[in-house]
Structure formats: structure tokens, C-alpha cells
Amino acid sequence: MHTDDPSANRYQRLNGTPILAIDTEADIQDLCDAAAQRIRASSDLLETLHCLCFKHADVRDIPSIVHALYLLVQDGSELLEVVRQRLR
């Protein structure tokens, strides 16, 4: 995504995908809220998994669960990185 347009840096790819993007000029509170939502969702999922009995769980589900957790934490981290850069 190369362009001579100075506003091209406004949108940062989320997880390196060309589809999802972070508006780097969005309100900082909105960025923080979006990051908190993703981190809270991953924390809630981890807490749920901690409380579950895995006697009837399918081992093949574990990679899917881990991938979902990874995406949530990665998105939250990238949002917080944009906030950190803006606060410099």
C-alpha cells in the first residue's frame, strides 16, 4: 500500500491484513475502548476455559480457541500501540 498521499498513514493494517485497518487518527478514547473490549473478551474466554471441565472436550477445538484468543490479544495490542504512538 504505497502512495504519495500524506494521509495514507492514517489507516494502519490490523494484523497485517489488507482488509482490517485501524484509523490512527480516531479519538484516543475510542481506540482505548476498542483495545479494552478485545483484551476483556480474551480474558473472559480464558476465565471460562479455566472453569470448564474438559472431560467431554474435543482436542481438535484447542487450536481454534487459541487462534481466537491470539487474534483478540493481537488486535488489542496493536490498538494500544497506536495510542502509545499518539501520546508521544
Condensed to tens digits (0 to 9), the pLDDT of residues 32-86 reads 999 999 999 999 999 988 887 777 778 888 899 999 999 999 999 999 999 999 9
The whole model's pTM is what?
0.79
Amino acid at 5: D
* C-alpha 25: how far from chain center: 17
Q: Which domain holds residue 43?
A: 26-87
| pLDDT tens readout for residues 15-32 | 777 778 999 999 999 999
In a domain, 9, yes or no: no
CA 88/CA 71 separation, integer angstroms? 26
In a domain, 7, yes or no: no
In a domain, 20, yes or no: no
DSSP code for 13: E
Q: Is the pLDDT of residue 6 over 70?
A: no
In a domain, 66, yes or no: yes
In a domain, 16, yes or no: no
